Amino acid sequence: MSTDIRITDSHCHLDFPDFDGERDALVARAAEAGVHRMVTICTRLRQEPQVRAIAEAHPQVFYAAGTHPMSAAAEPMATVEELVALAAHPKFVGIGESGLDYHYTAESAEVQKQSLRIHIAAARETGLPLIIHARDADEDMARILTEEYRNGAYTCVMHCFSSGAGLAKAALDLGFYLSMSGIAAFPRSQELRDIFASAPVDRILVETDAPYLAPPPFRGKRNEPSYTVHTAQKGAEVFGMEWAEFAAQTEANFERLFTRAVL
């Protein structure tokens, strides 16, 4: 694999305890694989200082922060002012992840919706991209994203996209981006690959969501940023592109959306 080809892991969780004691090695392995940049995501705002410290310690690591929808009912409600203040840090590049998850936490749907709208307002005010987690909530997600866009434009990536074609179309119609995770490389994910294949290639990002969702040949094991390459190579197949061409396209897409994450 040529290390002349560089890609970005647009979404990982380097602060998770799965990586304790080996973050420097993790970043080095990523670089060796051609993953020259990554965005580590804070999912509970009280943990923002630890996530920020990881980004500050590694030139190639940037970060975002928000309240994950599955934690929305258990954590203090974020405020627009709080998120805007965090965005003053030069390595802070996105708002979230926020969103809706009705798979395990449908009982907190109303709280999740409130939190989501706060994160959207912060994305709109800061001009930074919103990072969305959506699971089993396609109808509400499409409706809220569209309603809020009418209130004022903002940018957004549907992280680890694994929802239906309807939500994909709604997001793409708003000018948003879809991010491919290891799920898109699973053998039984042909329907998802078809959704990606029908999207404009200039609206595609790649990610790991590490430590989760490792792509083949590492499925079932702990994921890490270096494995982004395996998902991206599957993405090249999906779009019928040469590996170097697809990698360059996703790099251009990432830099168009995450304008602050400049090395």
pLDDT tens, position by position, 105-127:
999 999 999 999 999 999 999 99
Per-position DSSP letters for 141-183, written without gaps between them: HHHHHHHHHHHS---EEETT--S-HHHHHHHHHTT-EEEE-GG
Counting Cβ atoms within 10 Å, is residue 243 exposed (0-12), middle (13-18) or buried (19+)? middle
Confidence band, pLDDT 50/70/90 cuts, at residue 4:
confident
pLDDT digit string, tens, across residues 206-260: 999 999 999 999 999 999 999 999 999 999 999 999 999 999 999 999 999 999 9
Mean of pLDDT values over 18-23: 96
| Tokens 């002012």 sit on residue | 81
Confidence at residue 2, expressed as pLDDT on a 0 to 100 scale: 45
- The overall average pLDDT reported for the chain is 97
CA–CA distance, 244 with 7 (Å, rounded to integer):
10
Give the separation between CA 171 and CA 263, rounded to whole angstroms: 28
Report the alpha-carbon distance of residue 246 to residue 256 in Å, rounded.
Answer: 15
Largest interatomic CA distance in the chain: 48
Average pLDDT for residues 64-77, to the nearest whole number?
98
Pick the CATH number of 7-257 from 3.20.20.140, 1.20.1250.20, 2.60.40.10, 3.40.50.720: 3.20.20.140
Band the pLDDT of 1: cuts 50, 70, 90.
Answer: very low
Mean pLDDT of 32-51: 98
pLDDT of 263 reads 86
User: How much of the chain, in percent, has pLDDT values that exceed 90?
Assistant: 98
Cα 144 vs. chain centroid, distance in angstroms?
A: 19
Higher-pLDDT residue of 1 and 130 is 130
Structure tokens at 43: 């999912």
Write down the pLDDT at residue 3.
59
Contact call for residues 51 and 42 (beta carbons, < 8 A): yes
Is residue 191 predicted with pLDDT exceeding 60?
yes
